[in-house]
Structures are given as structure tokens and as C-alpha cells.
Structure 1
Amino acid sequence: MRADRLLALLLLLQNRGRMTAGELAAELEVSVRTVYRDVEALAASGVPVTADRGPDGGYRLMDGYRTRLTGLTDAEADALFLTGAPGPARDLGLGAVLTTAQLKLQAALPAELADRTRRVQDRFHLDAPAWFRDADPVDHLAPVARAVWEQRVLRVHYRRWRGEVHRELHPLGLVLKGGIWYLVAAAVGAATAAAAGSAGVGSAGAASPESAARTYRVSRLLAVEVADETFERPAGFDLAAHWTETARRLTAALHQQTARLRLSPEARRLLPMQFGAAGARALATAGPPDTDGWAEVDLAVESTAVAVGDLLRLGPGAVVLGPPDLREAVAAAATALARRYA
């Protein structure tokens, strides 16, 4: 690992010019003292590293010096596909590998193209997690990722909504959705369940290669074991296509009914923030506002039990007109709330 780090340090100085010990330590995810030792090691090996003192000082390479040690390793080539997602790359244990791969790529580019890549990095940043929500703890993500990479059988202890199960899985891929990691895997053999019910978020149709694949939330893995035996991936399995179909099926299953609402101007402004794409679609087909600014919309909602809580978040600016059972459930909840605060 130290050889990789020394190369990364050398490429940082070559690509970015003068850098302080603190800046190098942050990039390499090591201590400043480690940077001091690594710089001394580079100098001892014949690399012309110069230390400039003072408030604007730092380390730099002697003018005109360039290295051509820019060949990518297999791991670095794999990591380049995560260049737009440095946070997830770190979660997968590829943060340092990705940094080295990017530096090697920049070092191999002509100066003009290298400058363009740096401008892109300076101007665009991906932050995957949603606002106001901490990321899930993913203690077992690294071994799960290794099982996916190496096509190894994975034995897991998984917590689901109605109990815990033990599963033996063929891990087919990892998906990061809204800052949450999901494992797409096919369960094999018999399962020992503490409670009945499905473990996955969704599964594909029986006719597709991924028909046995289900979705497991990585943060709910209580224990994992990467087995020695390997498995063959289903012929024609497409992770992106499987996830798209799973998401479509889940959305269709969740939106079980349509609520007819009468909304104030303020509630209409809240609708897309509270209900996302479903709220935006409802607004797009809303009826004309009346003289007080209230308008009627049709909103796709989940089951009555879930919809009641969601609709109450719109406050007194929302009136449920139908269906009758949903209107009655919201009225009962509002009445119970009023009694609590009476």
C-alpha cells in the first residue's frame, strides 16, 4: 500500500503543482506526519521534491520533471466507473484506489485536457444522500461488495419488517438509491425464518433471467459470511434493467388508490415537496382554482393507513373529498389529534 501511496503523492504534485502537507494528507487520507515521511522517501529515491517555506509554501516538483508511471491496475480501472461518486467509492473501500486512478489518468492526458478535467471536478459535485437524513450504517458493505466482485456465495442474517431470516445468496449487484445501499441477490437453498413473509423489496417476473432476484437493504444485514464457493451469474442479467423494473413494480404496488383533494395555494406548493413525482403529476392535471385560490387535484397515494399520515402533513390547507373510506380515516385521525390537544 505504501508504494501506491507514494505514487499517488508524486502524481498529486505533478498534476496540481505546489501543495501543503495538510492538503496532501487530506487527499491521501493519512496523517501529516505520514506525508513528511513519504516526501522524504520520494526524495531519497531520486524524485526532485522541493520544499518551499513560508505562508505560501508547500511541496512541489522541480520545474520540468514529469513521471510517466501512469499504467492503471485492474482495481483502478474498475474504480474509474465511480469517478462521479467519491462518497460511494469510499463506502466500497475504493476511495484511495479511485484517487490514484484519477491522478494517473490526468497525468497521461495532454495539459489542455487535464486542465478541463480539473475544471469539471471544481464545478460539479454529486451528493447522493437525501437532505436531513443521515446515511444508513453499512458495516457489512465491504464484504458484500467483495462477494459481488468475486461472484462468491454470501450467507447472511437479515432483519426484515416481520422478523429475521438466514439466507444463502448469489449476490448479483449493489445499487445506491437516495443514499441507501441495496443488494440485488438470488436466494438459494432453504431459508430458516424467524417470521413469515417476503425478504425483498421486489422481484422480477418469472420469465426473466433475474426472476429469482430480490432486493435486500444492506443496513439490515446483521451478519454476513463470504463463502469460498463461487456461482455463475444468470445469462443476460442486466442490473440496471432489473432495478428499473423492480422500482416500477414497487411504485405500482405502493400507489393503490387515488385521492381526490381540495387544496389551498400553500398546500399546492407543498404537494411536490411532500409527494415527489406523484405530487408534481397531480398539480399538472389540477382543476382551475376558485375565487379563494383553492383547487381540486387527483393524487396517487399508498394504502389508506399510509396515506392518512402523508395527507395530514399538508396541514389544514388540504381537504380529502374521496374516496369515502380515506376521507373518514383522515377525519378520524384529525379528531383524535384535536382531542389530544384539547
Structure 2
Amino acid sequence: MAKWDNMLSMLWMLRSGRKMTAAQIAGSLETSVRTVYRYIDALCASGVPVVAEAGHDGGIRILESFQETPLFFSSVELKALADAFKFAQGAGYPYTEELESALKKVENGLHEEQRHDLSDLSSGLDVISPARPPSVVALLRELEQAAKEGRTVHIDYRKANSEQADEREVDPYGLAYDRSEWYAVAFCHRSRALRTFRVDRIERLEPTGARFEKPEHFSASAYFRSRSEREREAEGPLTVIRIEGEPETLNAVCGHWHLRHYLTERTDREARFLLDAPTMDKYLPMYLITFGPDIRVLEPPELKSRIREMARGIAKHYDSDELR
């Protein structure tokens, strides 16, 4: 265990309020008594009020004033914070600057050795950020504020491949990050229904004087899941679908915007889904055949048979060219 992780473990032992001997601490940490005293010196230098009392009733303890001292982080916890900032930055999180400022405050409270460890631990991970218009950050903040305050907004929204934007008034209920894009889930006054709007396609946003009440316990992620559920072809018993393939290919299959909601189990070489038979018959053969021999459907037999028929039909179509 790293030195600072050991020191943190020792700190939590002492925060219980009971006295412990150096031998007891050394036994718990599986280290030497001499090392424990080095940890005590380092903690005292960090501003932690560790007291070592000699005598029959003596022992090592920390003063109650330490309750007001900021928490210490283990090396792995610090790495997780630094990596979380990278992911937030890559996702276009609207409060990245504030998150970076908070992380710097944490780093400023570290010792030189801790800062060096953090740099080493977090240097091996990077997040590649997709290109986004700078306006998206401002839009995300405005939409989140409108959702929080229950304020209707006016937007100019351009759909994909549309030549001009539509004007709409919407009640933003929440934001969701899905498939590397930000979406606003909002009640559209024109459609009189809940709709999703890709934030990077909003060309203009203005607040209105109107207000709304968001449904209690609304969840944007739950809405996305329920939307996929509504797009099933039929209710009733679900069919187990097993697909075998290389890890990277299975990643693509499992990441499909519709299929991923029905994933029940995943290993390096196999993925299992639960889906109703009509939806499976309608969508899966055409989608799965695009992966060619990179995947193999293990079950159900009906899906395997449907893909075979489709493949034979394609082969027959191109065989006819040789007869002309």
C-alpha cells in the first residue's frame, strides 16, 4: 500500500476517538512501529493534531478539533477526481471551469509527494473531446436554470438536414448526455407532448415570462429508457438473444441506441439481450447482418434463420448479375 494510503488508513483509525498504541496501528497496517512514528510526524507536519501520550493509559489519538479539518484523499481517490474532470471536459459539461477550480483547490492542499503521485497516476488516461460549438455550454446552463426555475423558453431549433430552424416554446424538464451528445427533454407547446432536442441544434434561446411545473420526480434518463420501451413492437414474453463476437464488435452492437436498453449480460465474447419477438424480427436481422462474419447469433434459432435467409437473398441478387 502506498505511503499516503497507509497514512489515510491510520487517520480513519484514530478518528474513531479511541487511543491506539503504535504496535496496534502497525499490526493493522502490516508495517513496523518505526514506520508508524514516521507517519505521525508527517501527519503533524500536515496540520493534523496527533497526540502521543506515554504511560500506562497512554496511546496515540487525535484532538477533537480535527473534526473541522478538511478530508484527506487517498492516491486512488485523487486520481479518480482528476480523471472525472477529464471526462466532464470531454463531455462538454457546462461547469467544467468550476470543477477545474475545485480540483486545483484540492491539489493546492497536497504535499509535493502527493502532487507528484497524482501526476504519475493520472498521466495515463486522456479523453478525446468531440468538436462542439462554443455556444453549447451557455445553452446547457440556460436550459438547466430554466428547468430549475420552471421557466418556459423560446427556441429556434434546426432538425438534421433541415434548411431552416423552427420556432418553438418549450418547458425544459431536464438534460441528458447520451451517445456523446447533450439532449434537453422538454414539453413542446406546439406538439403538446414531451420531446427531446439536441442542444447543439438549438440556434437561439430566449426566456419567456411564462412558468410551468415540472412533473414530480421527473428523470431524463428514465424518459429515454421508457421511450425505447414504447418503441417495442409488442407486449408479452421476451426472447433471449445471445450474440458472440470480438470485444470491439460487441461494443458496437451493445452501444446501439435501442438495443443497449435491453442488454442483460455482457462478457468479453458474448452479449445477451431480452427483447420481444416482433421487435427482434423487424429490426435485428437487417442491423446484425451489417456486421457480417464479425458476429455470430447463438440464439434464438428464429433469428439465425432469418439472417441466413436474408444473406441468401443478397447472394442470389448478385449471382443473377453473372447470368446477364
With the length of structure 1 as denominator, give the TM-score of the two structures: 0.45
With the length of structure 2 as denominator, give the TM-score of the two structures: 0.47
